[in-house]
Amino acid sequence: MARISIAGVGIEYELLGKPGAPAIALTPGGRFPMDSPGVPQLAEALAAGGRRVLLWDRPNCGASDICFDAPGESELQGRTLAQLIRALDLGPTALAAGSAGSRVSLIAASRDPDVVSHLILWWISGGAISLISLAAYYCVDSALAASRGGMAAVAQLPGWAEQIRRNPRNRDIILAQDPARFMETMERWAMAYMPSQTSPVPGMSPEEFARLRMPVLIFRNGKSDLSHTRRTSEWVHELIPHSQMLDPPWPDDEWNTRSAAAMKTGSGHFAGWPAIAPEILDFTSR
């Protein structure tokens, strides 16, 4: 593991594979860290296929610093990803990501397309139920805690416990926030997730989709998946006319099955991700 400061935010990362090889930045979903089951295994398969693979903890995830200084959390993470690739001098890099990571990668690619060679997306979050749930999950508990008990109550929330355990400085970052300003930030971040009639992905306008000129591969979302609706992946495909869409190598109910297993046994949401390594390697070799 290594650490670097990006715009004053400490970012934990790891590089696998041969230096100078074509690079792939791998980004997981949720606020899960880079060592979540399935993610390192996918990275190892890509590295074995001749790629230089960047694993990283996004701001507010894993051992990286917590940060609230951005219009939205996905915007913060997308901006940081592009800056991280430049800081590590990886050259044009393929962005491969699922769930929240797909949103972050879309934003990074649209804001700084010159740093991106390819874009590979799966489990793209979208749909009214999904996006409203994200606003509640990422913002509501923290805002309510701040309103009732100040920032000390926010620091005690289960949603921040892992980040504080891995990086004790994160507790100090939370406690240093002004509660009133923090609640305003959570309101703004929640609004960023609100469903739109013009775009399937929060933080991405149709004009920003049009900036994506690099090769794009989309794995179709499952019919049964309300967190990543099939229509979301199809809409993204329509907004990127040159994109290629494939059915993933896992069952339609992969997300539902993995989520249920994670709740019962602690197994990873992303445990099936290594199965798409061959498609990623083939696509990025073109």
What is the 3-state composition of the chain as percent helix, strand, coil, each rounded to the nearest 5? 50, 15, 35
> Which pLDDT value is given to residue 86?
98
Phi, psi at 119, each rounded to 5°: -135, 120
At residue 267, does pLDDT exceed 80? no
Q: Which residues pair with 55 in a beta bridge?
A: 14, 26
The CA-CA-CA angle for residues 261, 262, 267, to 5°, reads: 95
280: which 2 tokens? 């990623």
DSSP-derived pairing of the beta strands 9-16 and 2-6: antiparallel
> Which pLDDT value is given to residue 17?
98
Above pLDDT 90, what percent of the chain?
97
At residue 228, does pLDDT exceed 80? yes
At residue 28, does pLDDT exceed 90? yes
Q: Which residues pair with 244 in a beta bridge?
A: 217
Which of the 8 DSSP states describes residue 3?
Answer: E
Locate tokens 């775009």: which residue? 199
> Which pLDDT value is given to residue 52?
98
pLDDT digits (tens, 9 = 90+) for 270-281: 999 999 999 999
At residue 264, does pLDDT exceed 90? no
> Which pLDDT value is given to residue 263?
83
Identity at 95, one-letter amino acid code:
L
Q: How confident is the model at residue 236 (pLDDT cuts 50, 70, 90)?
A: very high
> Which pLDDT value is given to residue 10?
98
CA 181 to chain centroid: 25
- E strands along 28-172, which residues? 52-56, 93-98, 116-122
pLDDT digits (tens, 9 = 90+) for 87-105: 999 999 999 999 999 999 9
Q: Which residues pair with 228 in a beta bridge?
A: 126
Query: What's the pTM?
Result: 0.97
Average pLDDT over all residues of the chain: 97
pLDDT digits (tens, 9 = 90+) for 200-225: 999 999 999 999 999 999 999 999 99
pLDDT digits (tens, 9 = 90+) for 30-75: 999 999 999 999 999 999 999 999 999 999 999 999 999 999 999 9
At residue 132, does pLDDT exceed 90? yes
> Which pLDDT value is given to residue 53?
98
At residue 155, does pLDDT exceed 90? yes
At residue 265, does pLDDT exceed 90? no
CA 128 to chain centroid: 19
Above pLDDT 70, what percent of the chain?
100
Phi, psi at 221, each rounded to 5°: -70, 155
